[in-house]
Structure 1
């Protein structure tokens, strides 16, 4: 059974900016191996029109593109396919650093049609809530503060945590085995766009979190 046959959620494509470094390519492959129902497209020198055509062939309408600076992943932008054209969404994240799965001696995910994609926010800052909100605009996942104590729970958990510098650390776990898998990502900033900024303002009014970004 293939990923395309078992996907219960809306699928999406992961790729890079043009002519990426080997490290950025490896990072995107790492993400594809731990995020269920994602597909990797080798960008090379392909234009956005080429990416849009690939999305149409796959029957996918969402894409995330990882950009780089000096050979390292630096930010992620998000797109939606509209009338055959890729339209950039009004939100993005800035990547401060990454550690590849092979550098951590970590494996890839195993998932089935029963697997769930869960995001567990352990941050004490409103920056964590902002990132939580932004990703929920793009990905289909179960939002948690702790994993539910359900027998035979299956899927992938993404953990958010604060570091001492005010960044957010993202790490992945295979829920069934509790094994950490995939890359480690350090997020230094998130731009939520107009809709997200309204949410951010509301969060500040109600006093959610103790730190902010941007």
Structure 2
């Protein structure tokens, strides 16, 4: 199971990204951090049977970094890459996205296969070809016209993209 939480003193946008990700990532739960230390978070992860942690950090009031960690014995081990965010586009408040879980990871660029494989291992969902219609919803990795990574939620059957869009500045391996 994946625990998704924020850093200390999260802003509204950071909390919202945490909530949106917990809605779309399979086998995940959102943990409201409050004043808990990482040690207390690890204890709660053990108690709930969670073995992976997605920590969303903020900078200048906006979501800035998504850190992936794996709980091994009593320590958190960093799982590469750390995703440095450039921005996040949320669904409109009234037309909230459906709480649909992604079933696979797709990419339309060979440059993003390493990221896709890493996320596939962490999230424990398969990396598949874009035209494979065995699955309905996908975490889709693509590049914008400037070559920066964009993460979206796509419906593989209709080709429609959900409203949550994550713009990536860079990856730290």
With the length of structure 2 as denominator, give the TM-score of the two structures.
0.87
In 2, distance between residues paired with 1:92 and 1:104? 32
Which residue is 1:133 aligned to? 117
Equivalent residues in 2 for 1:64-213 (5 A)? 64-102=54-92, 105-110=95-100, 117-123=103-109, 126=111, 128-150=112-134, 153-154=135-136, 156-175=137-156, 179-181=160-162, 183-192=164-173
Q: Is the 8 A contact 1:32 1:39 kept in 2?
A: yes
The Cα of 1:67 is off from its aligned counterpart by 0.8
Structure 2 residue corresponding to 1:45, chosen from 5, 25, 35: 35
CA distance in 1, matches of 2:139, 2:131: 10
**Structure number with bigger Rg:** 1
**C-alpha displacement of 1:71:** 1.0
Residues 117 and 127, structure 2, Cα contact 8 Å, conserved in 1: no
Correspondent of 2:6 among 16, 22, 44: 16
Question: Do the aligned residues in 1 keep the contact of 2:151 with 2:165 (CA within 8 Å)?
Answer: yes
Alpha-carbon offset, residue 191 of structure 1: 2.2
CA distance in 1, matches of 2:115, 2:104: 14
State the superposition RMSD in angstroms. 2.3
More displaced stretch, 37-46 vs 81-90: 81-90
Q: Displacement, 1:134? A: 2.7
How many residues in Structure 1 have an aligned counterpart in Structure 2?
173
Q: Structure 1 residue 34 and structure 2 residue 18: aligned?
A: no
Query: Could you tell me how far apart the structure 2 residues matched to 1:90 and 1:180 are?
Result: 26
From the superposition, tell whether residues 182 and 51 of structure 1 become closer, same or farther in structure 2 (CA, over 3 Å): farther
**Between Structure 1 and Structure 2, which shows a larger proportion of strand residues?**
2
Q: Which moved more, 1:37-46 or 1:94-103?
A: 94-103
Whether the aligned pair in 1 keeps the contact of 2:133 and 2:157 (CA below 8 Å) is no
Against the structure 1 CA distance between its residues 119 and 89, is the aligned structure 2 distance closer, same or farther, given a 3 Å change threshold? closer
C-alpha separation in 1, matches of 2:158 and 2:115: 26
Q: What is the TM-score normalised by the length of structure 1?
A: 0.72
Deviates more, 1:136-145 or 1:23-32: 136-145
